[in-house]
Amino acid sequence: MSLLVEKFDIELRNLRKNKKNYTNILEWNKTVRITYHLVDDIYVFLKNTKTGQDLLEKKIENKVNKIIFVQTDNYQITYYEQFIYNKLNEEYLKKYDIQIYDTGFLSDNFTNITFGLTILSWMEQFYNIKIKSEPIRHFLTLNSRKKLNRILLHDFLNHHNLFSKGLCSFHWLYISPDILSNNFLSGQNVDTDKEEHLTYVSNQTLHTQDVISLYEKTLFDIVTPSGHNLVTEKTLKPLLFGKPFLLWMYHNLEDDSEDYGEFGHTGVTIAMSRVLFWKKWYESIGIDITYFDIDYYNANCVKEKILELSAMSLSDVKQKYKDSFKKAEENKIKINNFIKKRYEQWEI
């Protein structure tokens, strides 16, 4: 973990249960930076804790110039969180000129979107990174914990004999191109649903492995986010490396798209709806993640695009989709500039 989180004054977590932990009167800096988990934590902190109310008093007295809240991790935003944000806006944000930076859309016109601080800390080692492009495989896909979409990606690649086309990790199956097999509990009686197989592969190891060579040896990334509406290092990493990527969110491999007209939803259209969340998120910060002329109207487009690209030679992929690789390099510049801008806004 970098020193990024340490540059914040306090952390808010589960305030509904932990209000008693926020009773101290602190020596506030002119710029106060606070991390939080849920937007509700901010509301409870300002409304119902002695520490929060003292901070507001110091802002009125001009002993504090700026108050900034930045989310630590990713949490889903529902109408409930948007309702709380609206109360915050009406009661505190406008009055005290408070800024909140969240990983989700707290309102329809919310512009202070950001990655979580934990993710930014993990990824700092890759800011403005320079790599050589010497591809020997088509794709890279890195999957640690067991999730349904990752299980199905493994099955899809296996069914179509595509493992030779990529560098792949599926840690619950003890498959990894960069972590030695003896770091796993391979061969023992373990419950992979409880992730016991990762006992010897800590989060720190997972996020500090030297993946640079893996990106140098592949053309594009197949990304499998762990949750819907959660923007994490899964999509940030290929952006920082200047690589195009495809988002795999399928929870079924059957083509049930013809049933859409009857039911208004199918497995593949739900998967595509999840993919389009990331498209919208990145568009909100000026980044277009549509690569390889993919047609999102076709709910099977990600599966079909993987098959198309894998059937081509590496040189043909680079030639046919040279505009996508150019866009990926441009996105690398944009994402680094975006992170730099956020750091400046947080006065870090």
Domain ranges of the chain: 5-114, 125-344
**Nearest-angstrom CA–CA distance, 150 and 177:** 16
Q: Are 178 and 143 in contact (CB under 8 A)?
A: no
Concatenated DSSP letters of 25-91: PP---SEEEEEESSHHHHHHHHHH-HHHHHHHHHHHTTS--EEEEEESS-----HHHHHHHHHHIII
Distances in Å between the Cα of 173 and the Cα atoms of 151, 185, 306 are 10, 10, 22
> What is the torsion angle, in degrees rounded to the nearest 10, for the CA atoms of residue 190, residue 196, residue 198 and residue 200?
-80
Q: Which DSSP category does 92 fall into? A: I
pLDDT in tens, 14-66: 999 999 999 999 999 999 999 999 999 999 999 999 999 999 999 999 999 99
3-state helix, strand, coil in the chain (%, to 5): 50, 10, 40
Summarize the confidence of residues 97-111 as an average pLDDT.
96
Q: Which amino acid is at 186?
A: S
Residue 226: the pLDDT is: 83
pLDDT in tens, 132-191: 999 999 999 999 888 999 999 999 999 999 999 999 999 888 888 877 666 665 555 656
Average pLDDT, the chain: 91
Summarize the confidence of residues 295-299 as an average pLDDT.
92
pLDDT in tens, 309-342: 999 999 999 999 999 999 999 999 999 999 999 9
Q: Which DSSP category does 295 fall into? A: -
pTM of the model: 0.91
